[in-house]
């Protein structure tokens, strides 16, 4: 798991705590070769070049962002490998784990064998869910499945596995944004990122944010900032999945916009490609209802032994959770939402003049990676991958894209910066605070929030409320 970055970095300073010469921007140069485009530049010049390039890309007609688990690390989240490890260890250690499942879980927990292909956690979960669906669906012609390692779980055992793996994922991803959001110096990366994302020229297309994360950190940040969004659901109290909302937009009516209709600025489209902890499967419908996450606060930091003891009491009332993976071919309840969301990603990436920004994603999910690589066939698409690990295979992957033209770039740390302090440069938080362009309304908003908290702390707010009664 990557360490949390410092929360005290000043987003409004011109230099930040990471000088720009700590970065490499790897991409095709003018002569067609792949090189570091910041090579030989001073700290000031390289940072200015970075910001100029990214500012130019952010002004392209269409903006598509894809985020993975790395985007949640600054707020207490886990990378996908760490999440898988902890979840499966916890489930395997529960007192009522069926014996037939223990071998399957322990086999998955073994280190990968060099040279042997290893499917992703989501794909592995797909097999578990599909096996359960095949055995439990009325009229299914399949009565038995041969499992590796001599395991023979029953349909009831697989149902138990689906339920408790879902509960364990929920508990790990029940993240709550820190209350420490009062001022400019302590800005959380999700707040800064979303504010900057919607600050584009109103004449440009809306931002489309796709995330692979199960947590609701983006939703929490959107609400704090007052940013409106469509996430594929309609309704408030018990929202139902309705993809037609992605064709809608929000405008000011003429009577409040100087006699003409004007677009509402703080708005984006939001897609959760792998589902969410607030999705619920009720009957044959997918619903969305945000639960109270307070009981789960601090759960993610506990050792596995304590999680094994605590998990059953935390999740006893949770319904079926809609977060199991997109490769689910047989559980029809979840097929349509995921299929539509992935189709939306493909459509957005095929649009002309598109900037694709990839953050916190390690290209480990084949079904996602295939879509991103296919998108490079779009002659007017530019892709920027932000990768904090200088040893990641993602860097070499992006290097290979050079044959497709000057459209794929990766921003990462220099070897010296990574050696000095690993995962400090080109993380989600670092990119958002120090590389993305600053905006005035975010600074003003945060100062207003700080002022509101001071009033609340002094008790003046309560006196004002009493005076109004």
pLDDT (tens digit per residue) in 123-140: 888 888 888 888 777 788
Lowest mean pLDDT, pick from 65-69, 130-134, 407-411: 130-134
Calculate mean pLDDT across residues 28-48: 80
pLDDT given at position 197: 92
Tell me the domains of the chain and their CATH numbers: 20-77+179-292+329-448 (3.40.50.1220), 80-175+298-314 (no CATH)
pLDDT given at position 132: 85
Q: Is the pLDDT of residue 174 over 90?
A: yes
pLDDT band at 462 (very low <50, low <70, confident <90, very high): low
Q: Is the pLDDT of residue 68 over 90?
A: yes
pLDDT given at position 56: 92
Residues 6+ apart with CB under 8 A from 64: 208, 210, 345, 348, 349, 354, 355, 356, 357
pLDDT band at 96 (very low <50, low <70, confident <90, very high): very high
Strands in 233-234's sheet, in edge-to-edge order, are: 233-234, 239-241, 285-288, 279-282
pLDDT given at position 15: 39
pLDDT (tens digit per residue) in 256-298: 656 678 888 889 999 999 889 998 877 777 888 888 899 999 9
Lowest mean pLDDT, pick from 89-93, 136-140, 202-206, 237-241: 136-140
């Amino acid at each position: 798991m990557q360490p949390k970055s410092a929360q005290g970095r000043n987003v409004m300073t011109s230099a930040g705590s990471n000088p720009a010469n700590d970065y490499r921007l790897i991409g095709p140069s003018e002569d067609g070769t792949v090189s570091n485009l910041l090579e030989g530049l001073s700290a000031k010049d390289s940072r200015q070049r970075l910001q100029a390039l990214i500012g130019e890309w952010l002004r392209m007609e269409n903006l598509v962002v894809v985020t993975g688990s790395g985007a949640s690390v600054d707020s207490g989240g886990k990378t996908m490998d760490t999440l898988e490890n902890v979840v499966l260890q916890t489930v395997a250690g529960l007192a009522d784990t069926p014996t037939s499942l223990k071998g399957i879980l322990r086999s998955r927990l073994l280190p990968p064998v060099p040279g042997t292909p290893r499917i992703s956690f989501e794909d592995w979960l797909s097999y578990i869910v599909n096996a359960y669906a095949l055995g439990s669906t009325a009229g299914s012609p399949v009565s038995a499945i041969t499992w590796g390692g001599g395991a023979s779980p029953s349909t009831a055992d697989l149902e138990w596995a689906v339920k408790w793996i879902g509960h364990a994922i929920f508990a790990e991803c029940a993240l709550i944004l820190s209350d420490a959001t009062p001022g400019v110096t302590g800005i959380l990366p999700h707040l800064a990122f979303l504010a900057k994302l919607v600050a584009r020229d109103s004449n440009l297309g809306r931002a489309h944010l796709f995330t692979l994360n199960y947590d609701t950190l983006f939703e929490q940040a959107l609400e704090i900032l007052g940013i409106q969004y469509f996430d594929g659901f309609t309704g408030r109290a018990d929202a139902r999945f309705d993809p037609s909302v992605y064709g809608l937009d929000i405008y000011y009516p003429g009577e409040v916009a100087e006699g003409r209709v004007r677009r509402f600025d703080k708005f984006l489209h939001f897609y959760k490609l792998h589902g969410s902890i607030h999705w619920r499967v009720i009957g044959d419908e997918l619903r969305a209802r945000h639960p109270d996450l307070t009981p789960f606060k601090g759960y993610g930091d506990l050792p596995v032994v304590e999680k094994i003891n605590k998990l059953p009491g935390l999740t006893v009332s949770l319904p079926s959770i809609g977060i199991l993976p997109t490769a689910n071919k047989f559980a029809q309840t979840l097929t349509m939402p995921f299929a539509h969301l992935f189709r939306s990603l493909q459509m957005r990436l095929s649009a002309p003049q598109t900037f694709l920004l990839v953050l916190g994603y390690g290209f480990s999910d084949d079904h996602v990676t295939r879509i991103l690589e296919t998108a490079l066939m779009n002659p007017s698409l530019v892709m920027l991958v932000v990768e904090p690990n200088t040893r990641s295979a993602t860097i070499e992957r992006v290097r290979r894209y050079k044959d497709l033209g000057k459209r794929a770039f990766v921003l990462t740390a220099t070897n010296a910066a990574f050696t000095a302090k690993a995962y400090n440069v080109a993380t989600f938080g670092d990119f958002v605070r120090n590389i993305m362009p600053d905006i005035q309304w975010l600074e003003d908003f945060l100062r207003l929030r700080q002022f509101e908290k001071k009033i609340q702390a002094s008790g003046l707010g309560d006196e004002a409320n009493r005076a109004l009664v």
